Chains A and B, each alone.
Chain A
Amino acid sequence: MSTTFQLNGETCRFDGDPMTPLIDLLRCQRFMTGTKAVCREGFCGACTVNVEGEPVLACLRPVGLLEGLSVMTIEGASRYDAEAQLLQAAFERVDAVQCGMCFPGMVMSLSKFLRETPRADRNAVKHAMVGNICRCTGYERIVDAVMECLAEAHSAGGADV
């Protein structure tokens, strides 16, 4: 059985078990290792990708359910997604990154939040992050970076919710 979808803007055809988790297709067959496999049980958020613009856990999403859809991974977002790039620059600036394994997923989760919630306070940012666990940083600096991005986006004329 074959599944065809858009992967970072290019057509991707997969011939195999449609129940294969997307993360295995990405990491073990395409060797696209930007998407990290940490808990593989849908709790840590490290493997977050965007499907049709929505954050989705690649460890829980069977490839067969992607027919005709558009999938963006950290590799694609780093090239094409303005909010992801804004976040990446802010994380560098505030020295938020430590071991770094949770950050690709963190960027994928927060880029949508940044796009759609330009007026958030710190508490709202933390709520938006509860699906992305970080073992190293103690989170506060990640929130700092997101708040900086929100301030930038707002001064650039982001829409109010």
Chain B
Amino acid sequence: MSEVERTIMNLPRRDAPDKLRGRTKYTNDRMDSTTLHAALLRSTVPAGRIARLDVSRALKCPGVRAVATAGDAPGLFGIGVADHPLFASDTIRYIGEPIAAVAAETLEQARAAIAAIELEVEPLAPVLTMEEALAPGARLVHENWRNYEILFEGGSRRGNIAWEAKAMRGDVDAAFARSDVRIVESTFRVGRQNHVPFEPRVAICSWEDDRAHIQTSTQVPWTVRNVTGRVMGLTPGRVRVTVPAVGGGFGLKFDATIEPITAVLARKTGRAVMLENSRFEEMTTCLCRENADIRIRSAVAADGEIVGREATVLMDCGAYGGEQIFLTTMTAHTLGGNYRLGAVRLTSRAIYTNTPPNGAFRACNGVYNTFALERHTDEICAELGFNPIEFRRRNVLGDGDLGATGQPFEGEVLRPMLDRMEGLREKVGSARERAAGRLYGRATTVGTWFIFVGPSSATVNLNADGSATLVTSGVEIGSGTMTQSLPQIVAGQLGLDPRDVIVKQADTDAAGLDVGVGGGRTTVSIGAASIEACVPIREKLLKTASEMLQTPPERLTLRNGRVEIAAVPGSGATVAEVVQRAQSISGPVTGTGSFTAKNVPAMAGCAMGHFIEAIDIPVFAVHDAEVAVDPETGHVEVLSYSVVQDVGRALNPLAIHGQVQGGVVQGLGYALHEEVTLGGEGEIRQSGFETYRLPLALDAVPVAIDLYEGAPSMGPLGTKGAGEVPILNTAATVACAVANATGRLVREIPLTPPRVLRILRDREPALPHPHISADWLQNTLD
């Protein structure tokens, strides 16, 4: 049995029994009677200058142990650009921005003290939309943007443009000037999506041995360590981050704004301090998936070849650059993906506004760019008279084709996946009769995601009882990587039962660097590091057993918890016996491994301002949906949903199917009813579950799933990340199906009943996007 065969199984989650019985201690379950509670004073205006901030009355309130303000955490942090203070000191930039924090014996006392803080603000006229932010003479959200420390070189910035990334390949002007092409142009707009993980952002910090120990619900323990050190002026090594079970993340918990506040208050009080966002705070300062405006234009030859494409994507980063700056990178691969392009130029701009900051959300940037790209593709097909599936079959990226930044793609994947979808469609059949008098539409779309691998490390210790302990900075956010794929991988390498692989939860004091759980990278990156960690362990086991059994190492194998003579099952010794022997002769049996990308870089001069130089692992998906649109009410019902997903190799098919089902339903929420709108002051209006409409059981649709295996991947054992991708083209697929059902253009999502009714009655506004020039060069700096 090969190590691959030993690794593949439907291992059940080890954390499920405790989670189902209420025994799991998430971060917000870890307070006790000695924990202090923190509350925040948050801004109620979107823009202003702090004229006076007096906390002396708050300090005298009952139960109060400390108050913190900007003076306690003077450092600025950010991704790419250090533009973000922990507390507003002089300038307020959004409703909900923290200004001060109180730690008190009870939460009620902390909140009462917050109310006693005296704050005077001189309001400024807010900049609430990207259109306003880009208008000539617009007020600067960051007046001193030139003075910020640059953490990553290469992007362009100016005024309210926090960051700009570009991808350029080939002569686009020549392509559009050809006499034999038709030019198709489309504009799109998407709103924000709120993550709503069930556990809010929360942290508990204690001050131990003159260091901060933060327990937090995070996806990025090393970022929390670094940001906390940075804002407090401590070396990051004086911050320890441990991560209990996380009650959902979806990208929201890439944030590090709660944790440093608890560290400041813990240092001041010497006590453990817990800060947990209330549901209102969580909803209104959520770091939503960003709202975006998109213009895309293509030159298509009569035979369907896409000879030129150009696009501009405006991403609203809100008051601080944060992850949007990083995410500008993704556009080259999401909007510039899927199809073979003759020449291409794309610009992606993160724009400051006086609104709550946005952030990363599952398949970040890709979900709406895929919506735009696939709708644009169908608009091309409608204008030029192509069959949409045949057009895709002709034009999807294949072996050796170049991406927008000039990286060659390896392997023929999307085309055979389209064939597999045809098979799946036949197998599932049509649900058309269930449309029952409503408008019926069906669509098939393609999607390209890519996994950014980044650095990870792993240590494996083999124990005297024959078990192994895996130490990493990985975090279990609900996707099962720490409870299923990683123990399976280690067990497969060492011939153990995966139930005998203990996985240590993230602790920055114990494990090496990791860039966090997101983008589908954990199984790939930590998995590869884990395999490397097992190499010296195998060598030591085989060498020791060889001496014990008087048999050459090459005739031995690791299986079923034993070191056996390969030809004689059940022979040899148990791993426990061999470990005990090895420990006595040569010391502990342990190995460490590390991993980072060995990637395909961009072509010289094609990518500017990109945080990720290369596509590490492209991942493809093909989705198909049937919808019924009620012309009276505008309600869209999804009648069937099918997914063919490229997973490289499925180590735990049961777990991957669960990720696909969950991702698709989350995507259906985004496509159909999850709507975040901003009020007149730039505040998020959907402040709770009553007003933000999440998918319920009756909204869920069973997803027919076909996992496509065997595509090239540098992931361990041929794996690719599987949890991020399922949401990538749900909105695209539903929008295309609704456009087919109604015979109208769909330019905006979510497709709520009022919007669908406007579409049906031709009352949905056109999107002229005056803030995106028709001349692409006008949309770029430099």
Contact = CB atoms under 8 A, between A and B. Distances in A.
Contact of B24 (A28, A100, A143): A100
State which size class the interface on B falls in: 35 or more
Contacts of B19: 97, 100-101, 103
A112 B17 CA distance: 20
Contact of B22 (A28, A39, A74, A137): A74
Contacts, number: 157
Interface string B245-281: 1111010000000000000000000000000001100
A115 B661 CA distance: 28
Interface in B1-27: 10, 12-13, 15-17, 19-26
A148 B480 CA distance: 23
Contacts of B775: none
A50 interface: no
Contacts of B196: 135
A130 B12 contact: no
A99 interface: yes
Contact of A101 (B13, B21, B248): B248
Nearest to A74: B22
Contacts of A101: 19, 26, 198-199, 247-248
B663 interface: yes
B700 A126 contact: yes
Interface string A74-118: 110010000000011001110111111111100100000000000
Which among A44, A136, A137, A143 has the highest number of chain B CB atoms within 10 Å? Answer: A136
B10 A78 contact: no
B198 A34 contact: no
Contacts of A93: 12
B677 to A, nearest CB: 19
A143 B703 CA distance: 13
Contacts of A95: 10, 12-13, 16, 480, 654-655, 658
Nearest to B667: A138
B15 A100 contact: yes
Contact of B279 (A33, A41, A141): A41
A133 interface: yes
A147 to B, nearest CB: 12
A33 B29 contact: yes
A9 to B, nearest CB: 16
B314 to A, nearest CB: 28
B477 interface: yes
B210 interface: no
B663 A100 contact: no
Contacts of A40: 278-279
Contact of B697 (A39, A43, A135, A143): A143
Interface string B181-206: 00000000000000011110000000
A151 B19 CA distance: 24
A58 B655 CA distance: 32
Nearest to B21: A78
Given A39-B279, A143-B697, A99 B477 contact: yes
B17 A139 contact: no
B20 A92 contact: yes
A136 B698 CA distance: 15
Is chain B's interface secondary structure helix, strand, loop, or mixed overall? loop
Interface stretch (B43-51, B339-347, B521-529, B686-694): B686-694
Contacts of B688: 39, 41, 43
A44 B688 CA distance: 10
Which among B279, B666, B690, B703 has the highest number of chain A CB atoms within 10 Å? Answer: B279
Contact of A98 (B10, B32, B279, B480): B480
Interface in B186-245: 196-199, 245
Given A41-B279, A97-B20, A140 B15 contact: no
Given A39-B279, A92-B16, A98-B478, A139 B700 contact: yes
Contacts of B22: 33-36, 73-75, 78, 104
Contacts of A34: 21-23
B21 A135 contact: no
Contacts of B658: 95-96, 98, 137, 141
Contact of B247 (A100, A132, A141): A100
A38 interface: yes
A102 B662 CA distance: 14
B661 A140 contact: yes
A140 to B, nearest CB: 5
Contacts of B585: none
B697 A126 contact: yes
B661 A92 contact: no
B622 interface: no
A115 to B, nearest CB: 18
B702 interface: yes
A46 interface: yes
Interface string B684-717: 0000111000111110111100000000000000
Nearest to B698: A126
Interface string A17-51: 00000000001100101111111110110100000
Give me the 8 closest cross-chain CB pairs, A-B, nearest first: A34-B22, A100-B19, A99-B478, A138-B665, A33-B29, A43-B689, A101-B198, A74-B22
Interface of A: 27-28, 31, 33-41, 43-44, 46, 73-75, 78, 87-88, 91-93, 95-104, 107, 125-127, 129-130, 132-143
Given A91-B16, A130-B697, A141-B658, 17 more contacts: A34-B22, A41-B688, A43-B688, A43-B689, A44-B198, A78-B21, A92-B12, A98-B478, A99-B478, A100-B19, A100-B245, A101-B247, A102-B198, A135-B694, A137-B661, A138-B661, A141-B661
9 contacts: A28-B31, A34-B21, A36-B198, A37-B28, A95-B655, A97-B13, A101-B248, A133-B696, A135-B196
